[in-house]
Chains A and B, each alone.
Chain A
Amino acid sequence: MRSPAFFLVSFAVGLVVFVLARMLDNDYLFFAGYTVLQYIVLATGWNILGGYTGYVNFGSAAFFALGAYSTVVLHKAFPMPIPVLMLVGGIVSGLVGFGMGYLTLRLRGAFFSIATLALAVVLQTLIVNWDFVGGSRGAYIIRPHHLEIFDYEIGYIQYLFFTMMVLAVLSLTVARMVERSRLGYGFATIRDDEVAAEACGVPTLKLKLIATTLCGALMGMAGAPFPYYIGYLQPSSAFGLEYAVNAIAMPMIGGATSWVGPLIGAVLLGTLQQVATVTISSAVNLLIVGLLLTGFVIIAPNGILGLFHKYFRGKTDFVGRRRIDRIGP
């Protein structure tokens, strides 16, 4: 399937979900669904760098929060519609991703991972000390109750859900496009053996920078509407460790070598967490995510997709067309 067709088909699927949810007329569905969609974007963004290129980003929360806080800044200066905010958040996070990559990617891969982890702490320190966006007290964003489009009234949470759905479809399309392009094959060579790739003339640094920028931009875009969703944004919620762990756990559990993996992981894990938060407690639901992540990386290294392929083809280390037997140098 070509990319535009893929986009239209997945958009249609999303639209059906949206209309079904509207027919049920339960606002909680939109609140829960928004979170799941947001995780689809985060997981897909992580996977472009982590799954395709083999570089682990621990700072997903930082990129997410950057998107959210650029919205807060713009909200205070001059308010704009959500899609524009997403674009701005994406640009800001993408630039930071580029800068991080430029400083650390010439060294061993582990340095990049550590630097992303530290980035989250430092950005949080900066935000806590920045009074304009509320500092450690946080910032209030008053969400309009509803929106009118062509005399047709629509609840604001439904509008947020809809824009996030479009973003999720868009990011899946991008991931699928990257996966099947020259760029994606370049990423895969870096993941499988960076030294060999470099020796064969693959411009590894350039490709890695493209991957970090794409990854940062998608995460920033996922974070941009967040202040409107939550209504009250404080540093500890925007930089929550749950974003970092979920962004890693979802692709790893779903299967990190294909765009389908993060989608499966985000839908399964996201729904599970919504259910667990309501029925048990939010601390326990994070524990479940941690246990699932470690359990899956030990027992099922290629995630659910890997299990699926193993079951149907009797091959252990093939997912789709790619060997992912050895990762990194």
Chain B
Amino acid sequence: MGITAELFINALIAGILLGGFYAAVTVGISISFGILDIVNIAHPAFIILGSYIAYIMNVTFGIDPIVASIVVLPAFYALGAAVYELYYQSFEKHGQEALRGLAFFFGLLFITEVLLILVFGVDYRYVNSAYTDHTLHFDAFDIPLRMLIPCIVALLMVGLLLIYLARTFIGRAIMAVSQDQLALQLMGVNPVSIKRIAFGISIASASIAGALLIVIQPVEPSVGREYIGRIFAICVLGGLQSLPGMVIAAMLLGIVESITATFYGPSWAPAVSFGLLLLTLAFRPAGLLGR
């Protein structure tokens, strides 16, 4: 009995830490899919790209992966803005985003994955940093720094984005663009440039999320696929536009996955997110904190 309770609490802690990381992975999709209504299924591919860039900088220059990901933020922002521009000019402008836009992002996901396979092969890559091998011990509970630091960085990032969206002019304009594009236009703001900024931010978040991913686990190009179901499940469960809801949903999924992995084996974990997604879609499509 004692061992089971201990196991359970350890699984719970691991789940919360994992959930924090999931929040970092999902925040990008919350912005692009939840707020901008752009179904960017290529987001996991950008995350893996972030992982590999952190890996390269870590191996060649010995920079900490998380610092490295912050250094390349502007590049990811520019990439996101460019992708949005292409998407807008080719699809959104003509109202063709439903079918062709989806196919476009799917193609992007596929191209990125295959390119990474061609360049790096399918071997697992991992990074070295000061904290990867340390673990904090409290009585019976272990908190590996490898999980704790990504969780803290992730929550910091989401918190900063939340403040940005609520307090700054552009942040408020981004929230407004999701509600009424025409009204925004009447206020003298160009919705397209606001969306470009927002999409840039969403892809920039993938850089940090990618670095966190490679700190937590070794990465190979097709790992991203497992995250497609997860991030959309979290985003929908959280209520699309609500970042606090998204964080709660991420924690929930992390805990459920961690408990499933502890008691039934890790090979069952990927099925959890999908079950959760289907249940949400069937019973509460508005999500936890949805309007």
Contacts and interface: CB of A to CB of B under 8 A. Distances in A.
Tell whether A pairs with B. Answer: yes
B159 interface: no
**Residue of A56, A136, A284 contacting most chain B CB atoms (<10 Å):** A56
Interface stretch (A109-117, A160-168, A225-233): A109-117
A252 B99 CA distance: 10
Contact of A56 (B102, B222, B267): B102
B106 A248 contact: yes
Interface stretch (B113-121, B182-190, B245-253): B113-121
A104 B281 CA distance: 7
Nearest to B276: A118
A125 B271 contact: yes
A327 B96 contact: yes
B114 A122 contact: no
Contacts, number: 138
Main secondary structure of the interface of B (DSSP, over half): helix
A124 B269 CA distance: 12
Nearest to B86: A298
A56 B103 CA distance: 8
Given A283-B117, A328-B98, A117 B107 contact: no
Contacts of A16: none
Given A54-B99, A118-B277, A287-B114, A297 B107 contact: yes
B98 A109 contact: yes
Contacts of A290: 107, 110-111, 114
Given A283-B117, A327-B96, A103 B41 contact: no
A129 interface: yes
Chain B interface bracket (under 10, 10 to 19, 20 to 34, 35 or more):
35 or more
A128 interface: yes
Nearest to B121: A283
B274 interface: yes
A145 to B, nearest CB: 34
Nearest to A293: B107
A121 interface: yes
Given A117-B229, A119-B274, A297-B107, A103 B96 contact: no
A117 B41 contact: yes
Interface residues of A, number: 49
Contacts of A109: 98
Interface in A239-294: 241, 244-245, 248-249, 252, 256, 283-284, 286-287, 289-291, 293-294
A56 B98 CA distance: 8
Given A103-B278, A103-B282, A129-B267, A121 B225 contact: yes
A133 to B, nearest CB: 15
B244 interface: no
A65 B49 CA distance: 29
A60 B125 CA distance: 30
A326 interface: yes
B285 A114 contact: no
A107 B118 CA distance: 38
Given A110-B102, A113-B39, A121-B274, A301 B96 contact: yes
A63 interface: no
B90 A58 contact: no
A256 B102 CA distance: 14
B111 A287 contact: yes
A67 interface: no
Contacts of A89: none
Given A114-B232, A118-B233, A252-B103, A107 B281 contact: yes
A291 B111 contact: yes
A126 interface: yes
Given A256-B99, A286-B110, A326-B96, A297 B39 contact: no
Interface of A: 50, 54, 56, 58, 103-104, 107, 109-111, 113-115, 117-119, 121-122, 124-126, 128-129, 136, 191, 241, 244-245, 248-249, 252, 256, 283-284, 286-287, 289-291, 293-294, 297-298, 301, 325-329
17 contacts: A56-B103, A103-B278, A109-B98, A115-B277, A117-B229, A118-B229, A121-B225, A122-B270, A128-B267, A248-B106, A252-B100, A286-B110, A291-B107, A291-B111, A294-B107, A298-B104, A325-B94
Given A117-B232, A126-B271, A297-B104, 8 more contacts: A54-B99, A110-B98, A110-B102, A113-B39, A121-B228, A125-B268, A298-B86, A301-B96
Interface of B: 33, 39, 41, 86, 90-91, 94-100, 102-104, 106-108, 110-111, 113-115, 117-118, 222, 225-226, 228-229, 232-233, 236, 265, 267-268, 270-271, 273-275, 277-278, 281-282, 285
10 cross-chain pairs, A with B, having the tightest CB-CB distances, nearest first: A328-B98, A118-B229, A294-B107, A122-B274, A290-B111, A290-B110, A293-B107, A118-B274, A125-B271, A297-B100
